[in-house]
Amino acid sequence: MKEKPYNKNLVIIIAAVAATGGLLFGFDTGVISGAIPFFQQDFQLSNSMVENITTAGLVGAVIGAMFTGRLSDIFGRKKTILAAAIIFVIGAAWSGWAPNPTLLIISRLFIGLAIGISSFSVPLYIAEISPTHIRGRLVSLFQLLITIGILVSYLSDLAFANNNNVESWRPMFYAGIVPGFILLIGMFFLPETPRWLMSKGREEESRRILKRIEEPSLIEESMKRMKDEVEKAKEKPNFREVFRPWLRKALIISVGIMFFQQFVGINTVIYYSPKIFMIAGFEGARAGIWGAVSVGIVNVLFTILSLFMIDKLGRRKLYFIGLIGIVISLFGLGLAFEFHSSLGEMGKWLAIGFVWIYIAFFAISLGPLGWLIISEIFPLRIRGIGSSIGSLSNWLFNGIVAFTFFKIVKLFTASGSGIITNEKIYDAATNSFSMQPVNNGNPAGAFWFYAVIGIIGIIWGYFYIPETKGIALEKIEEHWRLGGKPRELRK
Ligand code: BGC
């Protein structure tokens, strides 16, 4: 094969195409919220059936993350992402077409597989193909595209939502075909990662790709490092290896960071923000969706900011700054709801203000850091399995938080403090919608509960968040082998 020259911008193009997987992740996470009212009416579904359809995607993601880690170690990162792209395209077409609720559930489960697969294989691919000094920034591109995907899905929901057409949910789902195709075609032209090729003994191919993306003066050093690492671990990748004592810290870090990323309640805001804003006093579903769009915009803007900070300030600093901001805004949000009735008009603006601050701090810290760190801390040979465990934990915790939010709200609502809103409710018996008062409980206690988890996260992070900024992936492995503590990781 003909050798292609070093091109400084190539790696950015590569990362950007791969990160389209993040766009799909975000799009397919967000799209359901706008589609629900329409397919509920179209198929005349009960709330529990709606819950099943929503959860199907999450279940698919858990399965996708669980079973494909090993495949990406065996068949390579590129083929794994290609497989996800194909599933995204078929899944989007299938969900848009679904003629009945059962097929809709199966199609959401199917597309969930692709979300689960891409959520670990894309960051992994990018981490392995990036030069060390900008690795953080390039992996964070993935998070940026997740946030853009969420925003695009809110906007496209808004564009397709037509109150006179119960089938408006179909184009919302069909829209996902477009980014699916972009990922499929783009990925087809991208190379495999030099690190994975090296792990398969394909040294020449590995060098050829490295030459196109790494500065010429660093190539030999990188080759040597990768080779050493492969030498150190010759046997076949094995699931049990992740649980070996010397890797226990890496395992705790990846499950732990995903625990805190999800248990500070991020997706209660992403999935339920229209509802939260309605409870806060913004009237009507449309105002609620606009509130969600504003959250989506803040999320994107601050994720862009994080791209510039992550390789400069480093992972630990961002983690602490972010979590402190998250905890303070959650307390504030709780106060806005607790004193809802005495605050009057100001209450709802305080609520939306604290949600914006909360999202901003999440976007510069736990959002990108979760995905970045799980792609960095495992040794090459089991990096696929390792980061899929991180990703799997993410989806499990995500599912638990989403499923329990309203129950936790109820649990922590003092009697008489529930907030009443007027909502359009579907009645299966009469097959019609009518406006009825709904007691939503008061989310103050739930937000304080998440704040307390955030405080525990700060203490946990002091011991467990490693500073991986500017450190070669192979060095990180060496640190674990020598029995080093996460917070002592240094260049
Ligand atoms: C999280 C998602 C969340 C998104 C919000 C991601 O890092 O894993 O659960 O919806 O950030 O931007």
Least confident of 21-35, 78-92, 217-231: 217-231
> Where does the pLDDT of residue 316 fall: very low under 50, low under 70, confident under 90, or very high at 90 and above?
very high
Ligand 1 binding pocket includes 306 (Cβ within 6 Å): no
Q: Token pair of 299, please?
A: 């999320």
Residue 85 has pLDDT above 70, yes or no: yes
> Where does the pLDDT of residue 250 fall: very low under 50, low under 70, confident under 90, or very high at 90 and above?
very high
Q: Of the candidates 365, 359, 370, which has an alpha carbon nearest to the alpha carbon of residue 297?
A: 359
| 271 vs 329, residue with greater confidence | 329
What is the tens place of the pLDDT at every residue in 400-432?
A: 887 788 788 888 887 777 777 666 666 666 766
Residue 233 has pLDDT above 70, yes or no: no
Contacts of 243 (CB under 8 A, 6+ apart): 251
What is the tens place of the pLDDT at every residue in 281-291?
A: 777 666 767 78
Burial of 79 (0-12, 13-18, 19+ CB in 10 A): middle
* C-alpha of residue 270 to centroid of ligand 1, in Å: 8
In angstroms, rounded to a whole number, what is the distance separating the alpha carbons of residues 212 and 216?
9
In this prediction, residue 203 carries a pLDDT of 83
In angstroms, rounded to a whole number, what is the distance separating the alpha carbons of residues 1 and 202?
14
Contacts of 253 (CB under 8 A, 6+ apart): 373, 377, 464, 465, 466, 486
Closest ligand 1 atom, CA of 267?
10
What is the tens place of the pLDDT at every residue in 12-61?
A: 888 888 888 899 989 988 888 778 878 888 888 877 787 788 888 888 99
In this prediction, residue 434 carries a pLDDT of 73
Query: Which residue's C-alpha comes closest to atom 10 of ligand 1?
Result: 267
| 267 vs 429, residue with greater confidence | 267
Ligand 1 binding pocket includes 149 (Cβ within 6 Å): no
Ligand 1 binding pocket includes 329 (Cβ within 6 Å): no
Percentage of residues in the chain with pLDDT exceeding 70? 93
What spatial distance separates the first Cα and last Cα of the chain, rounded to whole Å?
A: 37
Q: Of the candidates 111, 130, 99, which has an alpha carbon nearest to the alpha carbon of residue 11?
A: 130
Residue 1 has pLDDT above 60, yes or no: no
CB 383 within 8 A of CB 395: no
Q: Of the candidates 55, 36, 38, which has an alpha carbon nearest to the alpha carbon of residue 275?
A: 36
Percentage of residues in the chain with pLDDT exceeding 90? 36
* C-alpha of residue 367 to centroid of ligand 1, in Å: 6
* C-alpha of residue 385 to centroid of ligand 1, in Å: 21
What is the tens place of the pLDDT at every residue in 147-191?
A: 999 999 888 888 887 777 888 899 999 999 999 999 999 999 988
Ligand 1 binding pocket includes 370 (Cβ within 6 Å): yes
* C-alpha of residue 358 to centroid of ligand 1, in Å: 13
Q: Which residue has the tokens 């008489």?
A: 416
Q: Please report which helix (H) or strand (E) contains residue 421, including its range.
A: strand 420-427
Question: Mean pLDDT of all residues in the chain?
Answer: 86
CB 123 within 8 A of CB 142: yes
What is the tens place of the pLDDT at every residue in 432-453?
A: 667 777 777 788 899 999 999 9
> Where does the pLDDT of residue 273 fall: very low under 50, low under 70, confident under 90, or very high at 90 and above?
confident
Ligand 1 binding pocket includes 267 (Cβ within 6 Å): yes
In this prediction, residue 3 carries a pLDDT of 64
Averaged pLDDT for residues 452-460: 97
Q: Token pair of 202, please?
A: 């394909």
**Largest Cα–Cα distance in the chain?**
74
Q: How far, CA to CA in Å, does 291 sit from each of 405, 422, 442?
A: 19, 18, 19
> Where does the pLDDT of residue 397 fall: very low under 50, low under 70, confident under 90, or very high at 90 and above?
very high
Query: Which residue's C-alpha comes closest to atom 1 of ligand 1?
Result: 367
Query: Which residue's C-alpha comes closest to atom 11 of ligand 1?
Result: 367
Averaged pLDDT for residues 464-491: 86
For the entire predicted model, the pTM comes to 0.84
In this prediction, residue 17 carries a pLDDT of 85
| 12 vs 368, residue with greater confidence | 368
Q: Choose the residue to mutate in 146, 298, 358, 405 for probing ligand 1, maximizing ligand atoms within 8 Å of C-beta.
A: 146
What DSSP letter does each residue of 430-459 carry, written as one string?
Answer: TTEEEEEEEE---THHHHHHHHHHHHHHHH
Averaged pLDDT for residues 118-147: 87
Show the DSSP H helices in 130-218 as ranges. Answer: 135-160, 169-174, 177-189, 194-199, 203-213
CB 391 within 8 A of CB 65: yes
Q: How far, CA to CA in Å, does 267 sit from each of 48, 200, 279, 400?
A: 19, 39, 17, 10
CB 60 within 8 A of CB 116: yes
Contacts of 37 (CB under 8 A, 6+ apart): 285
In this prediction, residue 339 carries a pLDDT of 86
| 143 vs 457, residue with greater confidence | 457
